[in-house]
Amino acid sequence: MAWFALARVLFVAAVAYAGAVLQPFPGGLPANVGFALVLAALVVVFESRLRETAISRVLGALIGCSIGLFIAHAIGSGLFWANNGDRRVEFLDSFILIVLPYLGLVLGGKHGEWLEPARLVSLFRATGPQRRYKILDTSVIIDGRIADVCETGFIDGTLVIPQFVLKELQLVADSADGLKRNRGRRGLDILQKIQKMSGIDVMISDMDFPDVKEVDLKLIELARTLQGKIVTNDFNLNKVAQLRGVDVLNVNELANSLKPVVLPGEIMKVFILKEGKEYNQGVAYLDDGTMVVVDNARKMISKTIDIVVTSVLQTTAGKMIFGRYIEAGMQSAAAPPAVERARSASPAAPVQTQQT
């Protein structure tokens, strides 16, 4: 920024020197130098505002102004038959010479984004719907839930599977470790399942970035090139991609957002699996693995019962639900009125809760 300040000082000094030497107006040296300094200050203010404007808009304004001048000159040349001595004709000629460049300047600056390279290239592309790319990474393929999401139709556009991701999957599938080998083969099976789905557009991309070594960084560069989104459940890749301005679709965040919230006082059905640590407690688990601790349910092990949720506790390991089992003979007396109305209105259904 120092050279900007130096350039401005030199510019102001040069304008002031020109005013002092040439003295275009009567009034002496101080008046001419002061007038030159005012002009230089106005130019500096205009330059500071202009520097914050996109270069495409500046170029558009210049092109629009030039086109306006050309049209104004053409119209003035076409009025050669008019009486140039008439003040009305002179005013009309001057008005056209001022208005058309002004309109070109304003309109060109407003629509200058069309001079950006991406917009210019789009003008020569075949018209049609723009393809939306979703780039799959290794972790989300191995996870497998992406196949279920695709089957429901919530993923649109084109699913892109890069060759370097396929190579990484193949290395995992050929690993000497049995667990890794099974995970890699599961990922390949998931890809085959997605390819066989009707209505899902799958593209194998050969695009690679030899200068980039890490697979995650290659995914980010590919997403930038295709202007697509990365589909992942990798926390680190999610953060790095967001820092680099790439959109990410996180399957874990999608799963958490779809889990309903259980509130105290609600009724839910659970299957008591085992006894709890405290006296007369039973423990149940929801489909998503959330633990439910139920008071007065020790004798109901291996049975499905209705419970009233008393509290919900968020822990570092996830969410825990605490409830109370009310025996059939005591329900009308012990259960809250709102609970009784809910039980009489509709049968209780299994409830899933959020787990972190």
Give me the residue spans of the domains in the chain.
2-115, 133-257, 267-345
Which whole-number Å values give the CA distances from 111 to 55, 62, 98, 114, 115, in the listed order? 12, 12, 20, 6, 8
CATH class (in words) of the domain with range 133-257: alpha beta
The number of helices, as runs of H, and strands, as runs of E, in the chain is: 14, 10
Query: By the 8 A CB rule, do 258 and 249 touch?
Result: no
Which whole-number Å values give the CA distances from 276 to 73, 272, 351, in the listed order? 93, 10, 21
Cα separation, 85 vs 128, whole angstroms: 57
Query: By the 8 A CB rule, do 164 and 218 touch?
Result: yes
Start-to-end Cα distance in the chain: 48
% of the chain exceeding 70 in pLDDT:
83
Cα separation, 299 vs 295, whole angstroms: 10
Cα separation, 14 vs 40, whole angstroms: 9
Model pLDDT for residues 150-201, shown as the tens digit of each residue? 888 888 888 999 999 999 999 999 988 888 899 999 999 999 999 888 888 8
Least confident range of 215-219, 245-249, 318-322, 334-338: 334-338
Predicted confidence band at 77 (pLDDT cuts at 50, 70, 90)?
confident
SS3 310: strand
Predicted confidence band at 122 (pLDDT cuts at 50, 70, 90)?
low
Query: By the 8 A CB rule, do 259 and 352 touch?
Result: yes
Tokens of residue 176, six digits: 């000497």
Query: By the 8 A CB rule, do 284 and 294 touch?
Result: yes
CATH class (in words) of the domain with range 267-345: mainly beta
Query: By the 8 A CB rule, do 146 and 251 touch?
Result: yes
Closest CA to 297 of 274, 317, 320, 267: 274
Cα separation, 138 vs 172, whole angstroms: 10
Cα separation, 354 vs 356, whole angstroms: 7
Predicted confidence band at 119 (pLDDT cuts at 50, 70, 90)?
low
Closest CA to 308 of 275, 339, 338, 350: 339
Is a pLDDT exceeding 80 seen at residue 312? yes
Query: By the 8 A CB rule, do 290 and 319 touch?
Result: yes
Cα separation, 295 vs 305, whole angstroms: 12
Cα separation, 91 vs 74, whole angstroms: 16
Q: Is the pTM of this model over 0.75?
A: no
